[in-house]
Chain A
């Protein structure tokens, strides 16, 4: 351990200054604004905890929070299952393995906003055309109900993120010592047993990373939400980030939105910390 001399701080300085200027200061300012009646133009009066009290009575915010929670749970599970499956698939001995990796990763190369519009087109136009062709009524009118809107978002998110998560799992799968697998195979372990008792525990650190990424991404989702459903029908597929944005920029209730953002931040932080804590305990030290 080097002593913390002046050079130590100088090396840290750029990062600390940047962090302070673009993270700490705006956040403190934000917390301050959440106690006022700021409308985006003038700061307004100091109203104490009023915004926080109103917030828990705001049905729309609560609905959005609940919808976001449901969405996050479903998509975190789906993305990780699909991502891990894809990773297992492309790390088995396939001729097309390299090509497949590229293809599954491709959705990440396009921005969320554009993906949302592409999938909106698919859900509304392509689903309808295909439904007409094969006579499947359930493919009509996608995104016009809360359920189809929900699943539309889940499908979009899974399609986009599974490839990214796959890459993380691939790294862990390929870093796995081959001897262990070979030994177990010789000892007569079945494929399922090998996966359950060897692959799974060794990939566990990958879960920590992937779950953290997917969970925080799902919770903070905005772009895809905006371009795919726009919150419709009747704001029932509105997620928290979008609800906060609308409070601020459509209703011009900037202070109230700020209070919601603070609460949202606390929730996400708690979830993320808890999840990392629990996953850490399950990891196997190599």
Chain B
């Protein structure tokens, strides 16, 4: 009797195991259904435009019935890098993926196709390809341009009697801040600024970039190759940080993006925040009118240097995987060309994605929000500060400098210590 039960159990377990294994096998096979079509796998990271992007891709597939494009979106900086690595490790490599800057290019060099001959690369604006060019090979195509600075509330400035155009250097900024501060009660402000110390990317990457870029001639590759950093404009950096911190809603160390942009700025409880054009959606979520017509963007003045440049750069690039079959590589290039140089693509980039284009030949009057407009104008006139933070040593900007700045903001370290340990960390990282 016992023997019988045994063999039954055995049979059941064997059947089950085979069943499961078979099910796993099926799952793998199902994805390659359309045999005659070229399938391009896109693995991208910009969550904000996922829906619009999928719509555009659907349009492209309709125009090109022999191409099938699958999109996977994984959001957030760290998660994306990790997910991309595991995609490659698993052998299920995407055809198009995102790369951030020189470090990514160096890491992925063996997997990137030379895109120099593409129309899109030809149309890319001056300087936007610097970060992804290795030995005159263009290994990535820019998503778009973004820029940041001090975003201010135009109504509050007007009521305080400040003309934003008159703020041209640190002294006049300080003056304006003091004026605002003295009229806090009438204007209904909690404070003048909201400095998000918790967001190490705001302080450690963006703010620091404004003061470190001049040192590297605004060139991300120079920063990437530099064995050390001098903090030439460290004093100017400290001045701006102190100004923001002294006149900020407190405590700055735990102030995050949502509090800064949505709670304090969008509810008009502070007048100025250091952010970029990407906050448009966040502000619009609270107060559409404010986002459309109540804000302006001005540069962060670098005391002792050119004080009028807006930091503008390319946040992300598209790379094409060179390990794929030739026809997939060609199809990938075609798609990117279409996206950035065809009329339909351009329209989508500008109007649906609401991108500030990094390519020429766009009808820029279609850019509506005031921050993007300011950035495009600055980019056109060349009055910009480069984005070199993509060339910082890995993790240095946020984990070292940003964390040190948090220490400084909580009075756990003085400025000297912040700068010294950041310099030291840069050198150690580079000498590895």
A contacting B, Cβ–Cβ less than 8 Å: yes
Instruction: Name A residues whose Cβ lies closer than 8 Å to a Cβ of B.
Output: 7, 10-11, 13-14, 39-41, 124, 140-145, 230, 232-235, 246, 248-252
Chain A residues within 8 Å of B251, by CB? 140-141, 144
Q: Is the CB of A249 within 8 A of B81?
A: yes
Task: Give 10 CB contacts A-B under 8 Å.
Answer: A7-B6, A13-B13, A39-B107, A124-B254, A141-B254, A144-B251, A145-B410, A233-B410, A249-B79, A252-B394
B254 and A235 contact, CB distance less than 8 A: no
CB-contacts of B62-83 with A (<8 A): 78-79, 81-82
Q: Is B334 an interface position by the 8 A CB rule?
A: no
A127 to chain B, nearest CB (A): 11
Q: With A144-B410, A234-B407, A250-B395 known to touch, is A14 a contact of B13 (CB < 8 Å)? A: yes
Q: Does B122 touch A at the CB level, under 8 Å?
A: no
Cross-chain contact B198 with A232 (CB below 8 angstroms) = yes
**When the two chains form their complex, are residues A233 and B85 in contact, meaning their CB atoms are under 8 A apart?**
no
| B250 CB-CB contact with A under 8 Å | yes
Q: Name A251's contact: one of B79, B82, B198, B395 (CB within 8 Å).
A: B395
What residues of A have a CB within 8 angstroms of the CB of B198 in the complex? 230, 232-233
B78, B108, B412: the one within 8 Å of A250 (CB) = B78
Query: What number of B residues sit within 8 Å (CB to CB) of A?
Result: 32
Q: Given A7-B10, A232-B198, A249-B78, does the pair A41, B107 have CB atoms closer than 8 Å?
A: yes
B99 proximal to A (CB < 8 A): no
Bound-state CA distance A96–B38 (Å) is 65
Contact A232:B254 (CB < 8 A) given known A144-B410, A145-B410, A252-B107: yes
Main secondary structure of the interface of B (DSSP, over half): helix
B13 near A232 with CB under 8 A, answer no
**B17 interface residue per 8 A CB criterion:** yes
Contact B254 A41 (CB under 8 A): no
Cα separation A11 to B11 with both chains bound (whole Å): 11
Which of B44-52, B222-230, B396-404 faces chain A?
Answer: B396-404
With A141-B251, A145-B410, A234-B410 known to touch, is A250 a contact of B399 (CB < 8 Å)? yes
Determine how close the nearest CB of chain B comes to the CB of A258; give it in whole angstroms: 14
**Beta-carbon nearest neighbor of B410 in chain A:** A233
Q: Which residue in B13, B88, B253, B399 is a CB contact (below 8 Å) of A144?
A: B253
Out of B250, B394, B395, B406, which one reaches A233, CB within 8 Å?
B406
B81, A41: Cβ atoms under 8 Å? no
Chain B 241-261, CB-CB to A under 8 Å as 1, else 0, gives 000000000110110000100
Give the residue name and chain of the B residue nearest to A17 (CB): B17
**Neighbouring B residues of A246 by C-beta, 8 Å:** 78, 395, 399
Determine if B108 and A233 form an interchain contact, defined as CB atoms under 8 angstroms apart. no
B9 within 8 A of A: yes
The docked-state distance in angstroms from the alpha carbon of A124 to that of B6 is 60
On whether the beta carbons of A235 and B399 are closer than 8 Å, the reply is yes
